[in-house]
Amino acid sequence: MADPVLFELLIPSQMSAGMAVQDRVIGLMQELQFSMRDIFAMRLSLEEAISNAIRHGNRFAVDKQVWIRCELSELQVRVVIRDEGEGFDPEQVPDPTLAENLERPSGRGLLLMRAYLSTCHYSDSGRCLTLVRERNSPLPIVPD
């Protein structure tokens, strides 16, 4: 079994920096021969999580950064993302599947991350998000 790959970064509150991190994680997943399903799930989740940290957490502030820690093993991918924003309560995000919220543009990303990840856990008043995707996870489970 190969040793886990671990890296930590501080990135500016710029989408291009977030995309570079996403590309790095996906490249490592490809090297570790994760399935296309796992790669799709993590790409979708990373794009949502990092852009939320930059856009909603740090509000694109040039004096704020996003801290990212990634650990990839043959069994899972674990990413922790922390912004310097005011935080939020993820339980207060309106359910985008309810009829009164179908036209709202927000909330879908959190719903998708929860569906595609083995772990999607907020801490530090919503400023820190831990994402875990287990290798060959059956998620999302789609009802017949």
Q: Is residue 139 part of a domain?
A: no
Share of the chain above pLDDT 70, in %: 90
pLDDT, tens digit, for every residue of 22-58?
Answer: 999 999 999 999 999 999 999 999 999 999 999 999 9
The CATH code of the domain that includes 115 is 3.30.565.10
pLDDT of residue 105: 65
Q: Which residue has the higher pLDDT, 2 or 11?
A: 11
Cα 26 from Cα 42, distance rounded (Å) = 8
Lowest-confidence pick of 2-6, 23-27, 77-81, 101-105: 101-105
pLDDT, averaged across the chain = 92
User: Residue 76 corresponds to which tokens in the numbers above?
Assistant: 């899972």
Q: Is residue 100 part of a domain?
A: yes
Q: Is residue 144 part of a domain?
A: no
Banded model confidence at residue 90, pLDDT cuts 50, 70, 90: confident
Q: Is the pLDDT of residue 107 over 80?
A: no
How far the first Cα of the chain sits from its last, in Å, is 37
Domain limits for position 98: 5-134
Q: Is residue 30 part of a domain?
A: yes
Domain count, the chain: 1
Q: Is residue 112 part of a domain?
A: yes
Instruction: For the beta carbon of residue 138, count every other beta carbon within 10 angstroms.
Output: 8
Q: Is residue 74 part of a domain?
A: yes
Q: Is residue 141 part of a domain?
A: no
Banded model confidence at residue 143, pLDDT cuts 50, 70, 90: low
pLDDT of residue 135: 98
Q: Is residue 59 part of a domain?
A: yes
Beta bridge partner(s), residue 80: 69, 130
